Structure 1
Amino acid sequence: MELTINHQIRFFAPPLTSLEGLLLLELSGKTQGVAVAINNKVIPKKDWATTTLKPYDQIILITASQGG
C-alpha cells in the first residue's frame, strides 16, 4: 500500500487498514500532542480507531515539541 506521510512516499506490506494502526507503527503508540490530517481533512482523535486508510492517501502527522 502506498501512502504519502509528511510529503514522503511510503510503502506498507501488508497494507495498513486503520489510522490507529499507522500511528502505532509510526509513533510507537505515543499520541500525546499529535494532530493528524488525511487528504487535507483534520481527523479528530476520537475517530482515529475507526478511520480507514486507502491507497495513495496523503497524511500529515504533526507532533508538538517543547522548546524555546
Structure 2
Amino acid sequence: MIKINGELVTAAGKSVAAYLAEAGYDSRAVAVEYNEVILPKADYEATILADGDVVEIVCFMGGGR
C-alpha cells in the first residue's frame, strides 16, 4: 500500500503520471512530494510507485486580488 495525502491506496507499479491522470489531477497544476522530496515534473512518468511510498499531492489554486 502507498500513502497518498494521508490515505492508503493500492497504486504500486503505476507511474506518478499514471496515478495523477487516473485520480483526475492535472499534472500541470500540482506539486508532488515523493518520500519527503519534491519530485520534478520531468520525473513523473519515470517514477514508479512502490509499497511503502509516501506521496503528498498539492494542487495550485488561482485567485487573489
Instruction: Check whether TM > 0.5.
Output: yes
- The TM-score with structure 1 as length reference comes to 0.78
Cα deviation, residue 32, structure 1? 2.3
Give the total of aligned pairs.
64
Other-structure match for 2:16: 19
How far apart in 1 are the matches of 2:49 and 2:30? 18
Q: Deviations over 1:32-55 (max 9, x none)?
A: 221001110111001111111111
- Percent identity, aligned pairs only? 25
* Counterparts of 1:44 and 1:60, CA distance in 2: 13
Separation in structure 1 between the aligned mates of residue 22 and residue 6 of structure 2, nearest angstrom: 17
Equivalent residues in 2 for 1:1-68 (5 A)? 2-12=1-11, 15-28=12-25, 30-68=26-64
Deviation at 1:10, TM superposition (A): 1.7
Looking at structure 1, the residues matched to 28 and 44 of structure 2 have their Cα atoms a distance apart, in angstroms, of 13
Q: How many angstroms does 1:56 deviate by?
A: 1.8
Give every structure 1 segment of 4 or more consecutive aligned residues whose post-TM-superposition deviation is greater than 2 Å.
none
**What's the RMSD between the two structures over aligned residues?**
1.6
CA displacement, residues 14-67 of structure 1 (integer Å, 9 cap, x when unaligned): x44211111111125x22221001110111001111111111210000001124
